Chain A
Amino acid sequence: MVPAQQAASAQLKDSDFTTRSLKVSLPPGVRFAKLIMVLLLVLFGAALISLWTGYRLLNLSDLYQDPAAQTVLFRLRLPRVLLAGVVGASLSIVGAALQAMFRNPLAEPFTLGVSGGGTLGASVAIALGWGANVSGVPLVFLTAFAGSGLAVLIVARLSRTARVVLPGMILLAGVVVNLIAGAGVLILQYVTDYTRALQILRWTIGSLDVVGFGLVIRLFCFVLPGWCALLYLARDLHLLAMGDDVAASLGVNVRRCERLIYLSTSLVVGASVAVGGTIAFVGLIVPHAVRLLFGEDVRIVLIGSFFLGASFLMLADALARSVLGSGELPVGAVTALCGGVMFLWLLRRHQRYAAF
């Protein structure tokens, strides 16, 4: 092609895609710095809003004198906000990682049945009475971890032919795993005694009700290694999103990488589910919001999802706590409602690429 002609066509193409090219024409390093600043501000704002939202109105002068207000803020609100942050960040970063690894924009812990598996695992522990006592909480983590791990392995194995992951197949496998896990939970509820059945029911809907920091700290210790592993693999995930062969030829140990992702996603999702129940679609909404804001680079999507996920669930929980006035909605219902609509919209949008 003649250079002048090429330049002209390049200009033409650029102007066609101005909004996109603005996002991608900045070097990733600069985009990354911008993203961290923006998202830290958002996180700070979300935490403040979430702390000040609730049945009891708090104001600064009260906090100095009124011990009841202090209790509400430090024993109820702060742990809850932190828990929402940890769970939201966990589900979102896992969603971003699963989307990249399976090259499927609709993948996330809920749609792939990873949450479902974790729920079943945790339900087993609760039904057997292991979850009732506080010191037994890590046991619920472990059974939920096992359930999530099993689910992710089943889904990955079912959807993978010799060398490719079939995009439709993986969602189908996820739905079926979810149904099986749901049936398992129902059976457990049916056969177990009344209080435990109620306990399982309340908690499968998804709620972030905590008192004190003990549970939050224990959850944090459990998910931290998973976060670190996923962030460590950020570059590998960026390459995996472009194809297994491409990643392998660029130096990624694909098998080892996949095993690490299975392990860390089930660790993170299992523990999050064991504490907060099934909170659907957070891992879908957040990574896509980050993509819209900051572009497709998976490394950026991962870190962005981490911060934005924390902010998102804090705000969703604040909404769930305040929308009914005195009562509260389960946060899982709020996210499922927003996320379900978003899922349908994404499904419609991605039909154009004939990927499903």
Chain B
Amino acid sequence: MNQATEPAALEGENGRLLLRTDRVSFGYSHRALVINRISFSLEQPGLAALIGANGSGKTTLVRLLAGLLKPTEGSVYFEGRLLSSIPRQEVARQIAYVPQTDAMIFPFSGLEVVLTGRTPHTSRFQFENQADREKALAALETVGAQHLAFRPVTQLSGGERQLIALARALAQEPKCLVLDEPSSSLDLKHRAGLIRTLRDLHNQKGLSAIVVTHDLQLLDPVFERVFALKAGELVAEGRPSEILQDDLLARIYDDPYIRSRKFNQRTFIWSET
């Protein structure tokens, strides 16, 4: 089911592979590995979801993929190049990362936050110009948050901040978005809106994304691949319809009460109470 992909075959396809990890392990301390020999790959363009129980290592894995952590063992490749060998600014132009939470202390305006997404495209001693500003405003509009442009972010709700963070990632104009639970505080409308936005950007502009999520219902049919983590290991990967099965989900989440039903081209998942 997993780790069936031979490294040799992947090397030949490197042109099409956006992100690839080769038996990556990571531990915050020497004692325990949080991520244990994970090999996975994301095609270009691709939409992938990363699922798993709390504490299964999802955040650590995406931080490795975004280049924020260096693997203890193994390697991460971006377009066939070793991620750690690519200069930081260039990585920032290609990969945009949205963390789970960003505690904002200073009352920056929404637009100021989104404008920082233009940093990888400007030089050190330059302020963002009019073109950057328009791109930032366009990014805000894409996520439906232009009304937040001049609001202090400290006064926004968790969901509104997630929209701002997403807009910043889009303003970065990356090839690949790495989103860590981008929908956890979003309401029903914005949750669906996020998925629609990802789908449209994927179809129209060839944007790739890897999304950590607990919203299993949103996976089918938009996402192409789903990767399931359990205790730091990749336990399943496949199309959403292959992964969203009662028995498999029960194993991933260690919960025998999980049920999934297909209805109207959608998969509904719940846990019996």
Minimal beta-carbon separation of A179 from chain B (angstroms): 26
Decide: B88 and A252 in contact? CB cutoff 8 A.
Answer: yes
Decide: B144 and A6 in contact? CB cutoff 8 A.
Answer: yes
Q: Is B99 an interface residue (CB 8 A)?
A: yes
Which residues does chain A contribute within 8 Å of B112, judged by CB atoms?
A: 24, 295-297
Decide: A14 and B150 in contact? CB cutoff 8 A.
Answer: yes
Given A24-B112, A246-B116, A296-B107, the answer on whether A13 and B147 have CB atoms closer than 8 Å is yes
Decide: A242 and B116 in contact? CB cutoff 8 A.
Answer: yes
Chief secondary structure at chain A's binding surface: helix
Q: Is B106 an interface residue (CB 8 A)?
A: yes
Given A20-B152, A242-B116, A245-B68, the answer on whether A104 and B144 have CB atoms closer than 8 Å is no
Q: Is B32 an interface residue (CB 8 A)?
A: no
Which residues does chain A contribute within 8 Å of B66, judged by CB atoms?
A: 249
Q: Mark B117-140, 1 if CB is under 8 A from A, else 0.
A: 101100011011110010000000
The chain A residue with its CB closest to the CB of B66 is A249
The chain B residue with its CB closest to the CB of A167 is B105
B residues sitting closer than 8 Å to A (CB atoms) are 28, 63, 66-68, 88-89, 91-92, 95-97, 99, 102-109, 111-113, 115-117, 119-120, 124-125, 127-130, 133, 144, 146-152, 154, 168, 172
A-side interface size class:
35 or more
Which residues does chain B contribute within 8 Å of A71, judged by CB atoms?
A: none
Given A6-B147, A20-B150, A243-B102, the answer on whether A249 and B129 have CB atoms closer than 8 Å is no
Which residues of A, 83-129, contact B by the 8 Å Cβ criterion?
A: 100, 103-105
Given A14-B150, A17-B151, the answer on whether A249 and B92 have CB atoms closer than 8 Å is yes
Decide: B144 and A1 in contact? CB cutoff 8 A.
Answer: yes
Query: Interface with B: A27-35, A51-59, A199-207, A266-274, which one?
Result: A27-35
Which residues does chain B contribute within 8 Å of A104, judged by CB atoms?
A: 105
Top 8 nearest A-B pairs (CB, nearest first) are A251-B92, A249-B97, A21-B150, A10-B147, A28-B127, A251-B89, A29-B127, A24-B109
Minimal beta-carbon separation of B264 from chain A (angstroms): 25
Given A241-B108, A295-B109, 19 further pairs, Cβ under 8 A: A13-B151, A14-B150, A17-B150, A20-B152, A24-B112, A27-B129, A28-B115, A167-B105, A235-B119, A235-B125, A242-B108, A245-B99, A246-B99, A246-B168, A250-B172, A251-B89, A251-B91, A251-B119, A253-B88
In the complex the two chains form, what is the Cα distance from A105 to B68 in whole Å?
26
What are 21 A-B interface contacts by the 8 Å CB criterion? A6-B144, A6-B146, A13-B148, A13-B150, A17-B150, A20-B109, A27-B128, A28-B127, A162-B28, A235-B119, A235-B124, A246-B168, A250-B119, A251-B88, A251-B91, A251-B119, A295-B112, A296-B106, A296-B107, A353-B105, A355-B105
Q: Is A321 an interface residue (CB 8 A)?
A: no
Decide: A245 and B102 in contact? CB cutoff 8 A.
Answer: yes
Q: Is A248 an interface residue (CB 8 A)?
A: yes
Which residues does chain A contribute within 8 Å of B129, judged by CB atoms?
A: 27, 29
Given A24-B111, A103-B106, the answer on whether A239 and B119 have CB atoms closer than 8 Å is yes
A residues sitting closer than 8 Å to B (CB atoms) are 1, 6, 9-10, 13-14, 17, 20-21, 24-25, 27-29, 32, 100, 103-105, 162, 164, 167, 232, 235, 238-239, 241-243, 245-246, 248-253, 295-297, 299, 353, 355
The chain A residue with its CB closest to the CB of B124 is A235
Minimal beta-carbon separation of B192 from chain A (angstroms): 13
Residue with the greatest number of chain A CB neighbours at <10 A, chosen from B104, B130, B150: B150
Which residues does chain A contribute within 8 Å of B111, judged by CB atoms?
A: 24
Decide: B119 and A10 in contact? CB cutoff 8 A.
Answer: no
Minimal beta-carbon separation of B171 from chain A (angstroms): 10
In the complex the two chains form, what is the Cα distance from A7 to B152 in whole Å?
18
Minimal beta-carbon separation of B173 from chain A (angstroms): 12
Minimal beta-carbon separation of B261 from chain A (angstroms): 31
The chain A residue with its CB closest to the CB of B154 is A353
In the complex the two chains form, what is the Cα distance from A330 to B272 in whole Å?
72
Decide: B91 and A28 in contact? CB cutoff 8 A.
Answer: no
